[in-house]
Amino acid sequence: MANSQALSVLLVDDEERFRQGLRTFLNFYSINSSVPLEVVGEANSVDQVLKFTAKNNPDLILLDLELTESDGITTLVRLKENSYTGKVLVLSAHQEDDWIFRAMQAGAAGYVFKNRLVTQLCEAINTVIKSEIYLPSEVASGFFRRFQADSTSSVRASHQLHLTEREQEVLHWLAQGASNEEIAKGLYVTVATVKAHLTSIFEKLKVSSRTQAIVAALKLGLVKA
């Protein structure tokens, strides 16, 4: 980075005009902030995000939840699988509780409404870089009510899918980005046993990959990333 003290930022949105406006806003914010920012890249797809973070590991990602080829929830899951260590701040037009809950459950550090960008973004950045969670005040109480209710729905979903206790444990480890070997070590079982459990989990969730399984489990409230 040109400034070693600056916070490196990756902008992720499939609308170029929005990215340009965001870059302009961040430049203005950086000039007037005690925490200077440097936009080090832009991306409009999951693949671009993963390639850029693998090479540059930016401190902060500003992520839109609706990308042309995929969605932001999948992006959050893939970043976790690839051991991204920075913070992800979601910028979205969606203000529904479900979208907010899913994003936070998948590992976002904060959530900002696009139509409130000017009033929310600066506070959100200052909050997440201190390793704290940012939520707009008007949705915070609803989020925590949903969080409390989710424990009940998680049990119900698990029961309906007939997941065994061990399969739920494997799914939890999977959501943390653990490899088969790490899961086996954590559960004191063989790798072959882990693979067998994963096969059963994939069948019950009707998915064909680890990423799809994590996304499905997050949407059903079976796990928290």
20-45 per-position pLDDT tens digit: 999 999 988 888 777 789 999 999 99
Of the candidates 124, 128, 106, 105, the residue with the CA atom closest to the CA atom of residue 114? 124
What residues does CATH 3.40.50.2300 cover in the chain? 7-141
Residues 49 and 75 sit within 8 Å (Cβ to Cβ): yes
Decide if pLDDT at 222 tops 90: no
Of the candidates 141, 142, 135, 196, the residue with the CA atom closest to the CA atom of residue 164? 196
pLDDT over 90 for what percent of the chain?
47
pLDDT value of position 18: 94
Integer CA distances (angstroms), 8 to 88, 103, 172, 187, 191, in order: 12, 22, 31, 38, 39
The listed CATH number (3.40.605.10, 3.50.7.10, 3.30.360.10, 3.40.50.2300) that belongs to domain 7-141: 3.40.50.2300
Instruction: Say how far apart CA 1 and CA 125 lie, in whole Å.
Output: 19
199-211 per-position pLDDT tens digit: 999 999 988 888 8
- Please provide the average confidence, as pLDDT, over all residues in the chain: 85
Decide if pLDDT at 1 tops 50: no
pLDDT value of position 71: 78
pLDDT value of position 159: 58
Between 59 and 210, name the one with better pLDDT: 59
pLDDT value of position 184: 93
Give the pair of three-digit tokens for residue 70: 């995929």
Lowest mean pLDDT among 8-12, 60-64, 72-76, 135-139: 135-139
The C-alpha torsion from 82 through 35 and 118 to 136, rounded to 10°, is 60
Of the candidates 159, 183, 155, the residue with the CA atom closest to the CA atom of residue 169? 183
143-183 per-position pLDDT tens digit: 655 555 555 555 566 657 888 889 989 998 988 888 999 99
DSSP-assigned states of every residue in 131-167: T--B--HHHHHHHHHHHHHHHHHHHHHHHHHT--HHH
The amino acid that residue 187 corresponds to is L
CA 9 to chain centre: 16
Model confidence band, residue 2 (pLDDT cutoffs 50, 70, 90) = very low
Domain 162-220 belongs to what topology? Answer: Arc Repressor Mutant, subunit A (1.10.10)
Instruction: Say how far apart CA 126 and CA 34 lie, in whole Å.
Output: 10
Residues 81 and 73 sit within 8 Å (Cβ to Cβ): no
Instruction: Say how far apart CA 61 and CA 12 lie, in whole Å.
Output: 7
79-107 per-position pLDDT tens digit: 988 889 999 999 999 888 888 888 888 88
Which residue in the block uniquely carries the two structure tokens 């797809």? 45
Which H/E stretch holds residue 173?
Answer: helix 165-175
What residues does CATH 1.10.10.10 cover in the chain? 162-220
